[in-house]
Structure 1
Amino acid sequence: MNPSEATAGLPSEALAQTVAELAAELPAGHVAAWAGVLASVQRSEATVEAALIDARPGYAVAAHARRLVAVWRSHAPDLPGAAVALALRSAAHLQRRAEVRRTELVVSGPSSPAVAVRLTRSVVVELIRQARRSLLMVSFAAYGVAEVVAEVSAAADRGVRVDLVSESGTADGGPLRGVTGADVFAGLGDRVTCWHWPVAARRQPGRSLPALHAKVIAADTDAALVSSANLTDRALSDNLEVGVVVRDPDAVRRLVDHFAALTDPRAGVLRRL
């Protein structure tokens, strides 16, 4: 069998591209309805376009249906409707997975018209509200943030396990002057587990003291904000800060697992306050 025979009957690049684009443009309900129509026909018959339009009316549906049928008829007329339906469902599935795993840009302070962004404070509140099992918060500094404290309290009340990792204050030999994260959330008592990196565990002869400088908020293992912003009122609103929300469950799980290992009492370097 030569290569041309091996690929005979396979959908062309044009049809594959069209199906992928429609999967991204059509709502999920339209994809399901269209796949049902396509699976019921053998070929790109003249009645298919009208059947697609009638299956699920909506804005610009007629143009989309006309485009699909035209490309199908021109580039893969012998391809069964069931194959086109499967391609559409598969493309839509991959599109949904891509959307779930998307990243978002988050900023504090001045914004620009260059790209659409979300504000750090609103994202922090959203992630805390999203948590159902666990909430990990890591910050060098914490100050004020009454709204965040209230949201964390509500999360703890609904059964979320809350872990706060923050830098040590000067009283404990750390580099942070003034209020610490543990101080900010002290009013929540044992509903929040506070962790620190003991100074004795990080001293290195002849070198300056390493700092706990990470800023992370992870809701379960579904989404995480990785940002330059501390948990302070200025950082969440006024300072020029930039971060990203990661919604890739695999990446978020690895991040959460990293801190779980660091807080492991058997081998971790972080200690409970």
Structure 2
Amino acid sequence: MSTGNINLDILLGQIETDRIAGTDTSIPAIMERYPSLSWKQAEEIYKMVSAACMVNPSIDASLVATVPPSFSVKAKSTKNTVESMVRGAKRNILITGYSLSGYFSDLLDVLIDKSQKGVYIKFFVNNIGAQQSLDKLCRYKGKFLHIYDFPSGKDSMAALHAKVISVDQEKTLITSANLSYHGQEGNIELGMLVKSTEIAKQVDDIFSHLIFTKVVKRV
């Protein structure tokens, strides 16, 4: 869960990355944030936070797929999963859009309605200038609806290609499917719906870092 402080969230994310990788590069970052600490004291804090992160309950994950109707598979429907997550969100939504179409317009209206009722939404978009279907959403940006753009840069092939929806820092969908008709119904797409506060936090940390380092720009 977020601490409410983006710099502290990034530091905690660094510590968690170190724990997983078996490194200690976050110790200097701890000392930079708390200059009065010695290396040994910062190392102790790193070890304590790492130990607390070791408590890792089993992760509840299920397959999510877009397949032809004739297929018989033990998987949740991408379309139904996306709609259920967006409509069921109570506190916050993190969502990305690499390629969107008018097919997603009904859920854009739901996002607008949610934001006006106090649900905090962060929408990360690839090259927003090319996403005309988001024009309406942009008109409602404000306190609870933040839109971030990954603009075209020197490398014209680089993109915000991740397709992620995370709600209430509890459920996260990571999928190959775009928010378009073919992504939700026409293509063959696979993803995983993960019920884990830890995974949701790790996803949020990544996008918080993109904001902090200005890789994405708020619209």
> Is the TM value for this pair above 0.5?
yes
Alpha-carbon RMSD across the aligned residues, in angstroms, is 2.2
Query: How far apart are the structure 2 equivalents of 1:209 and 1:179?
Result: 17
Which one of 137, 141, 146 corresponds to residue 105 of structure 2? 146
TM-score (norm 1): 0.53
Paired residues for 1:207-218 under 5 Å: 209-218=157-166
Aligned to 2:67: 109
CA deviation vs aligned residue, 1:48-103 (integer Å, no higher than 9, x gap)? xxxxxxxxxxxxxxxxxxxxxxxxxxxxxxxxxxxxxxxxxxxxxxxxx64xx311
Q: In 2, are the aligned partners of 1:168 and 1:180 still within 8 Å (CA)?
A: no
Q: Residue in 1 aligned with 2:215?
A: 269
Q: In 1, are the aligned partners of 2:66 and 2:187 still within 8 Å (CA)?
A: yes
Count of aligned residue pairs for this structure pair: 160
Would you identify which runs of 4 or more consecutive aligned residues in structure 1 move more than 4 Å? none
Separation in structure 1 between the aligned mates of residue 175 and residue 151 of structure 2, nearest angstrom: 23
Following superposition, the deviation at residue 244 of structure 1 comes to 0.9
Q: Is contact 1:166-1:181 (8 Å) kept?
A: no
The 3-state SS of whatever aligns with 1:218 is strand
Q: Which of the pair has the greater relative contact order for Cα pairs under 8 Å at 6+ separation?
A: 2
5+ residue gaps, structure 1: 1-96, 172-177
On the 8 A contact 2:141/2:147 being kept in 1, the answer is no
Distance 2:187 2:136 in 1: 20
CA displacement at 1:183 relative to structure 2: 2.6
Match of 2:194 in 1: 246
Select the residue among 256, 259, 264 that pairs with 2:204.
256
1:228 lines up with 2:180 in the alignment: no
Deviation of the 1:180 alpha carbon: 4.4
Measure the CA separation in 2 of the matches of 1:130 and 1:107.
20
Counterpart AA for 1:215: K
Gaps of 5+ in 2: 1-56
The answer to whether the aligner puts 1:219 opposite 2:167 as a matched pair is yes
In the alignment, is the contact (CA less than 8 A) between 1:106 and 1:120 conserved in 2?
Answer: yes
**In 2, Cα distance between equivalents of 1:214 and 1:180:** 19
CA separation in 2, counterparts of 1:127 and 1:102? 16
Shift of 1:149: 1.3
Say if 1:220 and 1:180 are closer, same or farther in 2 by CA, change over 3 A: farther
SS in 1 for 2:62: strand
Is 1:133 the counterpart of 2:133? The answer is no
Question: What is the letter of the counterpart of residue 199 of structure 1?
Answer: S
| Amino acid of the structure 1 residue aligned with 2:145 | V
